[in-house]
Structure 1
Amino acid sequence: MSKRFSSLKSAERTKKKCEFVPWNLEDLVPEHIQNGNVQDALKYICDLSPYIKHSGEMPLIAMKNQLYSVMASRTAVDQGVSHLRETGVIRVFKTSLGQDQFCIMFTIDYIKHITEQFKATCKGEEQPKCLTRFLEEVLSNPTDITVEKEFLIDKHGFKDSDVTELIKIGVLNVKDAGSWWLAIPSVGCFLKLLRKGRQAIIQIIRRTKYREINYKMLLSRKPPTSLKFGFQYHVHDLIGADLVRCINSTTGVLLRIVND
């Protein structure tokens, strides 16, 4: 076995704690984000993608798993997300990407996205009263990732026809009888591009000689057209989702596909 591979294996054995997120060694994530609060980390992630931030076509979304790749403690992430959700600062959404993969939006950005999406898709139409009530009454209260019948219909007096309209608008998805997922209008486009970005970077890594790539070298490449959100945004997604892991080496942080 070559000396190069021996050193990597040794690093894996002796630095298990650093293997997952060794960003501090390369200053790839600011220290105040690594050891700060979840709210600042969420803002940091959203700012990583100019396309998401400035295109006007995408909601300002971060994946919960991305927080695991920029903060030093998973426990701090879970506790911080729970606190921000319980205080109504953020909304958490189930996705089709996997059981433990969730979207996060700041509530203020979520409300703005809903109103802008309605104006864009229903030009000239007046905002329905059920949507106005949803924004004012439902979103003024901290909610879980689901909305129950007791809360929506029994407590706030929404009718079945109102619920049907809210599903059509895209703020609710049916979970089961008497329960709905809180949803993001037009989130399908975001998830589609996120999947394409994951696949694109994984393919780049697989084509390298040793099926691993230096993080800084990856950033220096011209992004493929399918990588809409930028390398940094997608890499943090891959690491946090346990699809790619970080390995310390003498040349910097290497990205290697998990179980490849």
Structure 2
Amino acid sequence: MDKSSGPSTGRKREREEDAVPESEDTDQTLSLEENFMFTDTLVALRIMRAQFPHIDKVSIQPFILRSQLYSSVKDRTQVDRELESLRRERVLCIFKLNTGQDDHAIMFMDDYLNQIDWVVKRMEAKNQDDLAVFEWFRTHVIHSKVEPSIGHQELCSLLSSGGNVKDEHVSLLINAGLLTRQLIDPNMYWFAIPNIGSILKGLSQGRKELLSFLNRRKYKEMMLAPLEKKRLRLSSLDMRFHLRDLIGSGHLKTTQTPSGLIVRVSKD
């Protein structure tokens, strides 16, 4: 029996459900409950890529969080193994995100290259010099290095296959958002997704908002179908994106009932 629909909840429950407004997005794709589990990592990635929310005023290609895959493919070892294989085949790139948590974003290689093209066009509009470094980065770095980080010496060595590398070239890549310095070792860089900063802020705030919403409910749970239709105020990412993330990271769990999936806050 679904406790959240019991008669004892009264008007307080109605007020709580109003705390997160209904989504205005009339998404024609299958609901989360209808395509919740997958047996293949690449299939899951393609579905989630297709369902990546449209974000106004931010030019960013679709990305998927590793935690979202964990929510939808039962075998985490299988996910990690298949991700590593796809990365080595240059099908996708994996990025360590600057969220303060162990978050990793996955982006298909074609999308990442399109993101770099967007950066170059933006730089051209500003009449920026030394844009050749972006082509060196695309040709000699991305296709040679599959790990999420790279040392300064190795970076310069790979870039030098394209031309005479100067410190200004590396600074240009950092300013464009393609690289971020590691705090522990300034001679190491993380590969990064340009223009993702505002979205990462929304990711963190959306997580807190969704968990807070469920924690205020009497049983800290809600049916998945109506929950998916809610809209978060503090995140440009949609409810489906956040649900997959928080389920995969273990903050939320699902239970199958005769009336559908229930999402509840994990006790531990």
Task: Work out whether the TM-score is over 0.5.
Answer: yes
Instruction: Please state how far the C-alpha of 1:225 moved relative to its aligned partner.
Output: 3.2
Instruction: Please state how far the C-alpha of 1:71 moved relative to its aligned partner.
Output: 1.2
Q: Is the 8 A contact 1:88 1:141 kept in 2?
A: no
TM-score of the superposed pair, with normalisation by structure 1: 0.79
Inter-partner Cα distance in structure 1 for 2:195 and 2:103: 18
Inter-partner Cα distance in structure 2 for 1:163 and 1:59: 23
Q: Residue 14 of structure 1 corresponds to which residue in structure 2?
A: none
Paired amino acid for 2:213: I
Q: CA RMSD in A?
A: 2.6
Aligned counterpart in structure 1 of residue 251 of structure 2, from 218, 229, 243: 243
Paired amino acid for 1:140: H
Count of paired positions = 234
Instruction: Please state how far the C-alpha of 1:155 moved relative to its aligned partner.
Output: 4.3
Inter-partner Cα distance in structure 1 for 2:90 and 2:34: 27
User: Does residue 257 of structure 2 align to residue 254 of structure 1?
Assistant: no
Unaligned residue ranges in structure 2 (runs of 5+): 4-30
Q: Residue 13 of structure 1 corresponds to which residue in structure 2?
A: none
Q: Is the 8 A contact 1:58 1:190 kept in 2?
A: no
Instruction: Please state how far the C-alpha of 1:197 moved relative to its aligned partner.
Output: 1.9
Q: Residue 48 of structure 1 corresponds to which residue in structure 2?
A: 51
Determine what percentage of the aligned residue pairs are the same residue: 26
Do the aligned partners of residues 138 and 27 (structure 1) sit closer, same or farther apart at CA in structure 2, a change above 3 Å counting? closer
Inter-partner Cα distance in structure 1 for 2:261 and 2:132: 53
TM-score of the superposed pair, with normalisation by structure 2: 0.77
Unaligned residue ranges in structure 1 (runs of 5+): 6-25
Aligned counterpart in structure 2 of residue 185 of structure 1, from 172, 177, 194: 194
Do the aligned partners of residues 58 and 154 (structure 1) sit closer, same or farther apart at CA in structure 2, a change above 3 Å counting? closer
Paired amino acid for 1:65: S
Inter-partner Cα distance in structure 2 for 1:102 and 1:228: 18
Give 1 or 2: higher helix fraction: 1
Instruction: Please state how far the C-alpha of 1:214 moved relative to its aligned partner.
Output: 0.9
Inter-partner Cα distance in structure 1 for 2:254 and 2:167: 49
Aligned counterpart in structure 2 of residue 172 of structure 1, from 158, 167, 179: 179
Instruction: Please state how far the C-alpha of 1:219 moved relative to its aligned partner.
Output: 2.3
Inter-partner Cα distance in structure 2 for 1:45 and 1:210: 29
Question: Is the partner of 2:125 in helix, strand or coil?
Answer: coil
Q: Deviations over 1:202-225 (max 9, x none)?
A: 12212222111111121244x133
